[in-house]
A and B are shown apart, each in its own frame.
Chain A
Amino acid sequence: MKMAVDTAIGHGTGTLPQIKGVKEVPYDELFVSGHRTCQGCESALVMRHMVKASGPRTIVLGSTGCMYVANTTYYTTPWVVPWMHTQLGAAGSAALGTAAGLKVLMRKGKIKDEKINVIAFCGDGGGADMGIGAISATLTHKEYNCLVLLYDNESYANTDIQLSSQTPYGAVTTFSPTGSKRRLMHTRWKKNMPGMMAAGHPESRYVAAGCAAYAVDLMNKIRRALELGGPTFVHTLDPCPKGWDYHPQYSQELGHLAVECGIWPLYEVVDGVVNLTGPTRQIAEGRKKRKHVSEYLKRQGRFAHFVDEDIEHFQAEVDKTWEEWLIPGVIPFTIPQKDTRILNIDKKKPLHAEATA
């Protein structure tokens, strides 16, 4: 089935239709054995879904991080599609350079003119810390078709679990241990990366937040990004047994809990229109109740030092993103009551209603 959105724009070829259910998922595996990621690694699943969705006419660029070091060891490779390493902070530039190179070679007739998907991935350290400038720049180059995928396991998990700007409040990492004098070494709130990318890059046609625990939803987000074209951005939350300290069998469950607790909202921003997806949408529409964050936090060793006060603070911050943000879970800012009329926003109406209609 071809989405209406696919035909509405110039870049799409309609070759990557939305997947309507698990039975429609392509059978071919393009990320196969030959890697040595940890048991229960959700990021490896993101890689698998990513290329399953994009298909064989894809070039993947991989930043330094778990998905470089654990995946690609010389003389073995799990990548059936062409793959190239790029530097920790260079996912944005790698995507841009590859896309620009293909574009000009096709224009000059030096290679066959065809649709080749370009995907550069980076971890949360490479994307939300070091490489944010390059990703931001790439999202302004609307003439190049490329997707930057940020797989977020909420720490520099490859280098020993050091905290990144995506590590949640209070979590233990090797740079934020808990000790006898300080219970919480890390007290910064997680950077709102997909919201920032969507709000700050008006010409990027597609930004999404996904999770491999919702596999079809994630694959459709990858496909829509590639079909809409131009520079796009997808951010996935990836439970990490090693960094989060839980048994590997619970990765999918933790992914579900992150969404159900409202900590990780699933959404996409298509040409500036916010579309909540999966359980996030059900929560926003009042069809599902948000779970208490303790259900998520208490399952992970990295929060084992939390006392009630920490859990309540965490809950209050999550509540704020749902109750006070301009677009719940997506765009912060609140509007003084006196200005709602000027800005043509009715506070009483759920703000996402229009977008999801």
Chain B
Amino acid sequence: MAVEVKATPTTEVETEQLLTGCEAIAEAIRLADVDVMAAYPIRPYDGVMQAAAKLIANGKMDVEYIVADGEHSQFEIVKHASAVGSRVFVGSSGVGWFYAFEAIAVTAGLRLPVVAICGNRALDDPGAFGTEHNDSLAVRDLGWLLPWAETAQESMDLALMAWRVAEDKRVSLPIAIGLDGAFLTHSQQPVKVPTKAAVDAFLPKYDLGDRLLHPDNPITIAPQVDQDWLMEIRRQNDAAMRKALTVITEAHADFKRIFGRGGDSPFLDEYMTDDAEVVFFGQGTLALPMKVAIRRLRAQGHKVGLVRLKWFRPFPTQEIVKSLTRFKAVGVIDRDYSFGSPFYGGVLYNEVRSALYSQTKRPTVVGFIAGLGGREIEQPMANEIFEKTMAAGRGDLSVGDQCHWIGVRD
């Protein structure tokens, strides 16, 4: 499939367009000069594949666009394309993500910098289209870097960051950007689309170096290592994940310098926390209703704020400790579940508590499970979260040290 691509005009300027999260990612694919992408339909992530297909059909980009026979093949195709030196993109949602699970696991094991989106969707059964984070979170232990976007702009920005961080030789791990289904994948927002020249200044070319699979470099990749070597190789992946914190910090600083966006911290987005006594903590689009609640509660005189987590893996433990120990109580809002876990809390809740455990001065952490299956987090629910967090901050043990399901019928 020969595609004629128009040369980038030198007069190219940054534009502002109304794009969905998926369309913003498709623009990032174009700007990053992705070589191979593999598509398979499942809502809601596949909006990005539809948008990318349109860009290809209109001659806006030259990408090998493969419609696969299932998610397992989708992820295997890009994994192997990555091994021969192609910059790649892939994605899925919900049970589709799980259908690819084997390929997802080996991609991290192979240290191949595949960039994906997970359009977060509730897992079957019973069926639900709406957002829930358990699909992305299922890979949290495997070596995938997991950022979460709040807006369409951040979706694009994280995607551009993703290729840079994933392909950095110090990291060389795959990244899956979490985009809340519907709320972000399919909601239009104004997005600043940078120029190709600016992106080129930020994003170096993909270079696998001596790990490239090519007849000029006849290496054997992923032989059977058994107990002889597996621990050493796992340890290298661990080291890469540790280094990812530095690489993300560097990339964030460069991104801010070149594009003028990205906030103060690469890992946390704090909202009205300067004088806050209690904060909400969560990731993804739940920031929007919680920010509305914060403005309303502050008008009533409550000192409340939000700390939004931008990267779940690597978990920015030090930054989280530094931030959250400033407050009396933290209400962690999980758009996920972890049945049978400590205190029957969500995944984020237990990770945050674990991060804070060794601190002498630590806030009370109270967990909330809310917005599952794409249920809207409405203001009365935000009120309940606030009241319980405040009570926990006052030392009410009937509220603290436990998890609460919010907005659920009995």
Contact = CB atoms under 8 A, between A and B. Distances in A.
B228 A100 contact: no
B69 A134 contact: yes
A288 to B, nearest CB: 41
B62 A74 contact: no
Given A59-B214, A134-B76, A136-B69, A85 B2 contact: no
A96 B83 CA distance: 12
B62 A108 contact: yes
Contact of A82 (B2, B38, B214): B214
Interface stretch (B138-146, B148-156, B215-223, B279-287): B215-223
Q: How large is the interface on B (under 10, 10 to 19, 20 to 34, 35 or more residues)?
A: 35 or more
Interface string B36-50: 101000000000000
Main secondary structure of the interface of A (DSSP, over half): mixed
A133 interface: yes
Interface string A48-73: 00000000111101000000110011
A210 to B, nearest CB: 24
B96 to A, nearest CB: 15
Given A84-B213, A97-B78, A74 B35 contact: no
A69 B218 contact: no
Contacts of A56: 215, 218
Given A94-B80, A141-B66, A87 B102 contact: yes
B1 interface: yes
A81 interface: yes
Nearest to B1: A143
10 contacts: A79-B220, A82-B219, A84-B80, A85-B223, A87-B76, A90-B72, A97-B38, A98-B213, A100-B86, A137-B68
Interface in A85-136: 85-87, 89-90, 92-94, 96-98, 100-105, 107-108, 110-111, 116, 133-134, 136
Interface residues of A, number: 47
Contacts of A134: 69-70, 72-73, 76
Contacts of A73: 223-226
Interface of B: 1-2, 33, 35-36, 38, 62-64, 66, 68-70, 72-73, 76-86, 88, 102-103, 106, 213-215, 217-226, 228-229
A69 B224 CA distance: 6
Given A83-B221, A97-B81, A101-B81, A74 B73 contact: no
Contact of A58 (B1, B83, B215, B229): B215
Contacts of A105: 35, 84-86
Nearest to A103: B64
B69 A87 contact: no
A93 to B, nearest CB: 4
Contacts of B33: 108
Contact of A111 (B70, B78, B214, B223): B214
* Residue among A96, A102, A111, A116 with most chain B CB within 10 A: A96
A41 B64 CA distance: 39
Contact of A108 (B35, B66, B80): B35
A68 B220 CA distance: 11
Nearest to B35: A104
A56 B228 CA distance: 30
Query: Majority SS of interface residues in chain B?
Result: mixed
A80 interface: yes
A104 B224 CA distance: 30
Contact of B226 (A74, A83, A97, A143): A74
B72 A104 contact: no
A79 B218 contact: yes
B87 to A, nearest CB: 9
Given A59-B213, A82-B218, A104-B64, A89 B72 contact: yes
A101 B86 contact: yes
Nearest to A133: B69
Contacts of A101: 35-36, 64, 80-86, 88
B218 A96 contact: no
A101 B89 CA distance: 12
B215 A94 contact: no
Contact of B77 (A69, A100, A110, A111): A100
Contact of A59 (B82, B84, B224): B84
A77 B223 contact: yes
